[in-house]
A and B are shown apart, each in its own frame.
Chain A
Amino acid sequence: MAEHVNLKEIERSVRARYHNDGITLIVAGLSLIFLAVFFYDHRQAWATTFAVGVWAWLAESLRRRLIYPRLGYAKLPTKQNPLTIVLAIGAVISVFVGAMFLERLNISFAGPIYWGAVLAVAALVIAVASRSKIACALAPVFLLSGGGGAMLARLGVCCAESYQLAALGAILITIGSGQLVLLRRRYPEPASEALNERD
């Protein structure tokens, strides 16, 4: 039996168990690939970003099918700080205003560096907030992808940002799938006899 008696530690472990199930990374990767495909159509990009509800629904559906039958389900208390929500919306709007400003400057290699930096900062914020080692490791990868994208742009490759975001999306999906496979091996679905035994 676990010997944890620290309630904050218990809460952290409960949240971490769901955050490290691979679903979050897979959905984040899919959203990056979707963003990459429609990168040059601003309306689509905005729609993708603000369709957070769709991504949240997809993540919850995947969890219901793949995770809850193995890990069980716990309804976590929602801590919705209005200031955090306002700050998050403000940050997303600032990111897109910055992207549009950069596009007007017409510097080909600035876009990839900008997106790499934005994603790296986002990963660092997540790493600090949730003490996620994976998010911490991904931050430099995002930052380096900016350099890679800038090199592509300098070489004259069209839509360098799209390649950069698609590559990052593929990396996230690969890592997420690995996490998901490990979790499914570690926690097999309980036999139906056991499910009936408790009742």
Chain B
Amino acid sequence: MSGTRDRGKEPITDIDRLIHEPARFLIMAHLYVVEAADFLFLQRQTNLTWGNLSSHISKLEDAGYVHVEKSFKGKKPHTMVRLTEGGRAAFERYRESMQAALDNIPG
């Protein structure tokens, strides 16, 4: 996003569409307030199905926003997800952009 533009005049097209999708936004918001969380926790908090959650996490992982760590607890697979530094920065940028865009709407 351009730093030379006035904050309030940034075009809405600058908003990160990857985070803008509601399910991914919820996932990012939850990961933003915790250090790390497992798949089950995210599923309980967001009410997404396993498949849906898995697909959104994969998209976020491909973008480098989250780091996925797979392991086994006994015989059960255990997947921990955490925001990367880039993901945290992208979420903060997204918040600022949205705030600026919404503040600009005459009410």
Residues of A within 8 A of B (CB): 1-2, 4-5, 7, 10-11, 13-14, 68-77, 187, 190, 192, 194-199
Number of residues in B with C-beta < 8 Å to the partner? 31
Q: Which residues of B contact A187 (CB under 8 A)?
A: 44
Q: Give the chain A neighbours of B45 by CB distance below 8 A.
A: 2, 13-14, 72
Which residues of B lie under 8 Å from residue A75 when comparing CB positions?
34-37
Which positions in B face A, CB cutoff 8 Å? 22-23, 25-26, 29-30, 32-48, 50-51, 53-54, 70, 76-77, 79
| Known contacts A11-B33, A14-B45, A72-B43; A194 and B23 CB within 8 A of each other | no
Besides A2-B26, A71-B41, A75-B37, 10 other CB < 8 A contacts?
Answer: A2-B46, A7-B29, A10-B29, A14-B34, A72-B40, A72-B41, A72-B44, A77-B33, A187-B44, A199-B70
Q: Is the interface of B mostly helix, strand, loop or mixed?
A: helix
Q: Give the chain A neighbours of B54 by CB distance below 8 A.
A: 197-198
| B22 contact set on A, CB distance < 8 A | 1
Whole-angstrom CA separation of A150 from B3 in the bound complex: 69
